[in-house]
Amino acid sequence: MADEVDIANDLQELALQQALNAARVGGPRLVARGACYNCDEILAPRADGQHVQLFCDGDCADDWERMQAAKARNGRA
C-alpha cells in the first residue's frame, strides 16, 4: 500500500507532466466536462457515457476563442 509521501510524489509527477505537455502544445487543453465552456449549456454524453463535446455549437466555440484572445491581449490569461 502506498503511503502519503508516495501519493504526494505521484501527484507532483503528474502535475509536472501535465505542465510540460501544456507547454509543448502551446497551453492547457480543455477537457470535456459535460457543459459548454462558453454558455454552460448541459451537453449530452455519448452512448458509452463519456463526454466529448467542449461547446454546444460552433458559435459558442468562436465566442470562447475570441474571449480568450481578448484576455490574453489584456494580460488576464
Give one DSSP letter per residue of 53-73, joined into a string. -SSSSHHHHHHHHHHHHHHHH
Nearest alpha-carbon partner for 31 in 16, 43, 13, 20: 43
Nearest alpha-carbon partner for 55 in 73, 30, 29: 30
Position 54 confidence tier, pLDDT thresholds 50, 70, 90: very high
Provide the pLDDT for residue 62. Answer: 94
Position 38 confidence tier, pLDDT thresholds 50, 70, 90: very high
Rounded distance between C-alpha atoms, residue 17 and residue 11, angstroms: 10
Rounded distance between C-alpha atoms, residue 29 and residue 69, angstroms: 15
Q: Are the beta carbons of 41 and 59 closer than 8 angstroms?
A: no
Provide the pLDDT for residue 7. Answer: 85
- Where are the chain's structural domains? 30-77
Mean pLDDT of the chain: 85
